[in-house]
Amino acid sequence: MQPKNKNLLRLSSVCLAMVSALYSELNNKAYAREFFDSSFLSVASGSDSSNPMDLSVFEAKNSQAPGEYRVDIIFNGQYLHTKNINFIVNNEASTDGEQIKLTPCLSLERLSEYGVKVSAFPGLQENSQGCANLNAIPDAKATFDFGTQRLNISVPQAALSTTAQGYIPPEQFDDGINALLVNYQFSGSEDYESKDEYYSLNLQSGLNIGPWRIRNLSTWNKNKGDSGDWDSAYLYMQRNIRVLNSSLTVGESSSLSTIFDSVPFTGVQLATDTAMLPESLRGYAPIVRGIAKTNARVVIKQNGYQVYQTYVAPGAFEISDMYPSGGSGDLYVTVEETDGSTQSFIVPFASLPLMLREDQLEYEITSGKYRPYDNGINEKPFTQATASYGATSSTTIYGGTQLSAHYQALSAGLGYNLGDLGAISTDVTQAWSKKQDQEKTSGQSWRVRYGKNILETGTNITIAGYRYSTKGFNTLSEVFDSYSNDGSNASSRSLRNRTSLTLNQSLGKGAGSLSVSGLIEDYWDDKRTNKSISVGYNGGFRNINYYLGYSYNRYTWDNNSSGNDAQDDQRFTLSVSVPFSNWLPSTYASYQLNNSNPGSTDQSVTLGGVGLEDNSLDWSVMQGYSNREHNSGDMRATYNNSQGSINAGYSYDRDSQRIDYGANGSIIAHADGITLGQDITDAAVLIKAPGLDDVRLTNDANISTDYRGYAIVPYVTPYRRTDVTLDSTSLGDNMELPETTKTVIPTRGAIVRANYTGNIGQRAFIHLKTANGKDVPFGAMVMLAGDTKTQASIVSDAGMVYMSGLQPTGMLKVQWGKSADQQCQTSYNLPTREGKVVGIIQTDVICR
């Protein structure tokens, strides 16, 4: 037979088999099970018909060879995730009479993960291979669609646990690996006009040992001529208590501000960790917004400790990347302008009306010593306990107590769901206190909080609060601050009224969004009024974006005789941004107008954008002009990559000519060495992919593996299921990654390791021939000799097989049946070019 006719016969035989199977599927009326006639395929491929290949594994409906397959798991019609599942041979007859050869091996742990009540079905017990008997659940079944690589699992609702949406069983939480870690933020500046230098270093360091987390936030600040000053904001040890949905903290931290004002302490705290609860119950975090009139330095303090500092350009700014502070409490913000002026304001650490789901309990127990930021104040012991309970679906009751030798307080409150009108909570605190060298006083503090919060849609977030305190009322911190070990009393500042508002409202499609935040408070003793109000509007027309902002601040940090003489500070800003994508890719131009009273009117034009192939470089150039006849300018660039980021800038105006620079990132020391990364926000993933260097993350091109195959994913949410996917298009010619996605569920502060095993080596098409010169039969299985972990490759037509992860030389084991004459071994030697194996190559070998 001529080769041309042989190829034609071969193609015809395959087409006939495919058409026959398809016709039978469409009609669904086959009276006998379809099967492969291996002798027919042997003739078509030119193999010896007296020694046919064994393809019985493919005869059953929808069957394939047993082994591990990567499949999409569909549970009761809902996509869950993509996983590697081991499929085994099962000869039990199915309900439709077909012999099902391939069934998934699902462990009890995996079924429990999917919400199956495994304890209710004793017959689910695992066999020697670790596979549960799914038939023990009536009407439950698992069907593997090989063509689409989908595993469809169906389990009756009665066999499933009733859990809140997004619930993850605690046994699935991963405490991660033992590791040392540190986040660093360094900034420096030198002003050539004032001859001043300033340096700042924030170090959030930690140690993870099993479930324990040790954390410390230290800051170092230095001015020119000074020796530098180190300060520790906190040092604590923490771990989760899964059965209680709680966290245990030992050391320096701050009490919660849900009911009482936050108090820094050194001691022990046991409190509900709401992050363990379903996602809809997660908490609130503040964002710092303001307006700078020059190239300013922004310093943020909490509970008296500096927790953040940065440099901002003129105009509106927003800060949302502060390290977790280990507690709560209002944020005191100072904006230091280059002309020597400052503006100060408070960002209230507001909380939504206290509302819990029915029968849900949250609590806090804190006991220790007061931890003042002033070393001259005595560390008085105290205990704080609070509890909140969802009494009904619309009503929450809560209360608490604070106890010490010089201060006692009781609080009680009620939260109520108003339906479409939002939610409201109100509470009262009765306190008895005695300040140093003063008579004992008592008083009450009333508080009302209102909120209409639709986090699911992002439509709006509203937080409004009002507090009124009688003249005899003091907080625990105010009382403790009056006790100093050097005999000097802290100034008395008893709060009278406090009103706060935070609003972010979407105005509808194409209408932009409005943000409002404000704080107004006055005091009994000095009649001083602090005001901080900010209003902003974001809008857009086609590709043009614009922002209008107004801020009014009146606040003095020190309570002295000049405090009541402070002048009001008002600022207005307008900015318009136009993309230049049609002319300069990834570039924009913006115009900005800033007006300050007292102050000047400043205008500026900025050209900026992103650069480099992976958009890892942010840059901007600004030129400005003031009505007081002086110019200003700013040039700035930030480079981000897997190992962190660096930034540098130059700015000038009438009063300053400054260079500033900085670097930030993270360092993790683990059992396999040291890995650099970007700032870790809370939990993180350590990618371990030996040999897979310079492979990018799918959803973040700025993160890629280093030369050893390691990388840090720094922004994983604790107690939430997160998929980490490597970009297969960034693999080198000698790399192949069978599984690109790993799923992690870290606990708070955990460093979870995601192990990727790739085939590192050459990819090749190998043409296999038997000793008598004939092609190895179609369907034969090929493996590396001695390798029992890698799935076998299947020989295609004409004895051709594709393999990856090959070394330049090696041994192959080939098998197409059970008898001795249906298997062989061969060595291979891949051809090289200039001593290297390049690209996907093809080679011929004889199998004996």
CA dihedral 615, 645, 291, 509 (to 10 degrees): 40
Q: How many CB atoms lie within 10 A of CB 119?
A: 10
Q: How many CB atoms lie within 10 A of CB 661?
A: 15
Name residue 220's beta-bridge partners. 201, 230
Q: What is the pLDDT of residues 478-512, one digit of tens each?
A: 899 889 876 565 555 678 888 888 888 877 777 88
State how far the Cα of 122 lies from the Cα of 566, in Å rounded to an integer: 75
**Enclosing H/E stretch for 272:** strand 264-272
State how far the Cα of 81 lies from the Cα of 423, in Å rounded to an integer: 36
| Locus of tokens 């206190």 | 433
> Residue 226: what are its φ and ψ, rounded to 5°?
-90, 160
- Determine the pLDDT at residue 561: 53
| Predicted confidence band of residue 596 (pLDDT cuts 50, 70, 90) | confident
**Enclosing H/E stretch for 641:** strand 631-641
- Determine the pLDDT at residue 32: 44
Q: What is the pLDDT of residues 269-291, one digit of tens each?
A: 999 988 887 554 443 445 677 78
Please give the mean pLDDT across all residues of the chain: 80
Name residue 707's beta-bridge partners. none
| Backbone Cα Rg of the chain | 34
Higher pLDDT, 768 or 555: 768
State how far the Cα of 146 lies from the Cα of 69, in Å rounded to an integer: 9
Closest CA to 845 of 776, 756, 751, 745: 776
Comparing 44-58, 243-257, 554-568, 808-822, the range with the smallest average pLDDT is 44-58
pLDDT of residue 402 exceeding 90: yes
Comparing 87-101, 495-509, 818-832, the range with the smallest average pLDDT is 87-101
State how far the Cα of 746 lies from the Cα of 752, in Å rounded to an integer: 6
Name residue 644's beta-bridge partners. 641
| Predicted confidence band of residue 646 (pLDDT cuts 50, 70, 90) | very high
| Predicted confidence band of residue 93 (pLDDT cuts 50, 70, 90) | very low
- Determine the pLDDT at residue 2: 42
Q: What is the pLDDT of residues 212-270, one digit of tens each?
A: 999 999 999 998 878 888 888 889 999 999 888 899 999 999 998 888 988 999 999 99
- Determine the pLDDT at residue 7: 43
Instruction: Evaluate the omega torsion of the peptide bond into residue 579 and state whether it is cis, within 30 degrees of 0.
Output: no
- Determine the pLDDT at residue 39: 54
Comparing 380-384, 442-446, 586-590, 735-739, the range with the smallest average pLDDT is 735-739
Q: Which amino acid is at 174?
A: D
Query: Which tokens in the block code for residue 778?
Result: 């179609």
Determine how β-strand 78-89 pairs with β-strand 67-75: antiparallel
Comparing 188-197, 368-377, 383-392, 828-837, the range with the smallest average pLDDT is 828-837
Is the distance from CB of 182 to CB of 203 less than 8 angstroms? yes
Is the distance from CB of 539 to CB of 510 less than 8 angstroms? no
| Predicted confidence band of residue 15 (pLDDT cuts 50, 70, 90) | very low
Question: What share of residues in the chain are helix, strand, coil (percent, to 5)?
Answer: 10, 50, 40
State how far the Cα of 539 lies from the Cα of 673, in Å rounded to an integer: 48
State how far the Cα of 794 lies from the Cα of 776, in Å rounded to an integer: 11
Q: Write down how long the chain is.
A: 848
Segment 829-848 mean pLDDT = 75
In the β-sheet with 141-145, what is the strand arrangement from edge to edge? Answer: 102-104, 78-89, 67-75, 150-154, 141-145
Segment 102-121 mean pLDDT = 84
Is the distance from CB of 331 to CB of 319 less than 8 angstroms? no
Query: Within 13 Å, how many C-alpha atoms sit on residue 313's CB side?
Result: 23
Percent of the chain topping pLDDT 70: 81
pLDDT of residue 709 exceeding 60: yes
pTM of the predicted structure, to 2 decimals? 0.71
DSSP 668-705: EEETTEEEEESPP-SEEEEEE-TT-TTPEETTEEEEE-
SS3 117: coil
| Predicted confidence band of residue 412 (pLDDT cuts 50, 70, 90) | very high
pLDDT of residue 18 exceeding 70: no
Instruction: Evaluate the omega torsion of the peptide bond into residue 598 and state whether it is cis, within 30 degrees of 0.
Output: yes
Question: Of the segments 177-191, 294-308, 732-746, which one has the largest average pLDDT value?
Answer: 177-191
- Determine the pLDDT at residue 664: 94
DSSP 248-271: EEEEEEE---SSSPP-EEEEEEEE
Closest CA to 215 of 240, 241, 234: 234
Q: How many CB atoms lie within 10 A of CB 486?
A: 8
Higher pLDDT, 839 or 40: 839
pLDDT of residue 4 exceeding 80: no
SS3 6: helix
Burial (CB count <10 Å: 0-12, 13-18, 19+), residue 95: exposed
Comparing 101-105, 723-727, 744-748, 767-771, the range with the smallest average pLDDT is 101-105
In 97-211, the DSSP E strands lie at 102-104, 141-145, 150-154, 179-191, 196-209
State how far the Cα of 338 lies from the Cα of 369, in Å rounded to an integer: 40
